[in-house]
């Protein structure tokens, strides 16, 4: 590992094809702590990076099913035990009457899980990132593509990593300060 006090390296690419090929090279070199930043989604980039499938769908499913079960139990308890009330001659457990609230709570639990899970899994909010200090990185929301490799990566060696990024077609390689 390099002895410098840098956060890592930032490499700029001109088009989606270039960053796709560069991501494959970085992945094949064995780097683990790195990311790609693009102005729009690049089809297949997650596979080129070797990113594992997201855990978010499973989190949403678990929270949706849990919310659904809890709401049905709550409605059953409220109408059958806590406040038994016969409405319109219907039995205390009337599933069709429970469906609207039951369904809405399932959707609410799933939406809250998707929102919070997305934020937590992506490490948000993150008001400061070392790449924000780079003038070149400002174009990530416009028309440039970037790869960031952290110095904390076990494979990171400043000179070797710079050489790899230059060989991969980077138009700019910049060292980032923490």
pLDDT digits (tens, 9 = 90+) for 5-14: 889 999 999 9
- Over pLDDT 90: what percentage of the chain? 82
**pLDDT: is 72 or 87 the higher one?**
72
Please give the Cα distance from 152 to 7 (Å, whole number): 8
What's the pLDDT at 178? 86
Q: Considering the chain, what is the average pLDDT of its residues? A: 93
Residue 42 lies in a domain: yes
Per the model's pLDDT, the better-predicted residue between 87 and 77 turns out to be: 77
pTM for the full model?
0.76
**Quick one: which of 127, 126, 128, 134 has its CA closest to 176?**
134
pLDDT at 86: 84
Would the pLDDT of 53 be above 80?
yes
User: Using the 8-state DSSP alphabet, how is residue 78 labeled?
Assistant: I
Cα 33 to Cα 50: distance, rounded to the nearest angstrom: 12
Any domain includes 140: yes
Do residue 141 and residue 171 come from a single domain?
yes
34: confidence class by pLDDT, cuts 50, 70, 90: very high
Binned at pLDDT 50, 70 and 90, residue 89 comes out as confident
More reliable by pLDDT, 134 or 88: 134
CA distance 46 to 129: 21
Residues 19 and 60 in one domain: no
pLDDT band, residue 3 (cuts 50/70/90): low
| Same domain for 110 and 25 | no
* Counted domains in the chain: 2
Domain encompassing residue 115? 56-121
Q: Is residue 108 part of a domain?
A: yes
Of 75, 91, 121, at which residue does a domain stop? Answer: 121
The owner of tokens 């934020």 is 119
Distance in angstroms (rounded) separating the CA atoms of residues 153 and 88: 67
Cβ atoms of residues 133 and 7 within 8 Å: no
Query: 43 and 16: one domain?
Result: yes
CA-based torsion, 148, 152, 155, 158: positive or negative: positive
Tell me the average pLDDT across 86-100: 87
Q: Are residues 81 and 132 located together in one domain of the fold?
A: no
Alpha-carbon gap, residue 42 to 104, rounded angstroms: 35
Q: What is the CATH number of the domain that holds 172?
A: 3.30.70
Rounded Cα distance, 156 and 37, in Å: 19
């Amino acid at each position: 590992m390099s002895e410098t006090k840098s956060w890592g390296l930032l490499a700029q690419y001109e088009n989606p094809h270039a960053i796709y090929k560069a991501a494959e090279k970085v992945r094949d070199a064995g780097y683990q702590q790195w990311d790609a930043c693009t102005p729009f989604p690049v089809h297949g980039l997650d596979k080129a990076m070797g990113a594992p499938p997201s855990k978010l769908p499973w989190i949403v499913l678990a929270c949706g099913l849990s919310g659904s079960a809890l709401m049905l139990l709550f409605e059953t308890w409220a109408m059958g035990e806590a406040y038994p009330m016969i409405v319109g001659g219907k039995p205390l457990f009337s599933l069709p009457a429970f469906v609207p609230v039951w369904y809405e709570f399932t959707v609410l639990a799933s939406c809250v899980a998707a929102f919070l899970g997305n934020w937590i899994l992506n490490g948000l909010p993150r008001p400061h990132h070392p790449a924000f200090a780079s003038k070149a990185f400002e174009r990530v929301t416009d028309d440039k593509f970037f790869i960031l490799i952290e110095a904390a990566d076990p494979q990171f060696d400043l000179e070797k990593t710079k050489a790899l990024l230059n060989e991969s077609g980077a138009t700019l390689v910049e060292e980032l300060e923490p």
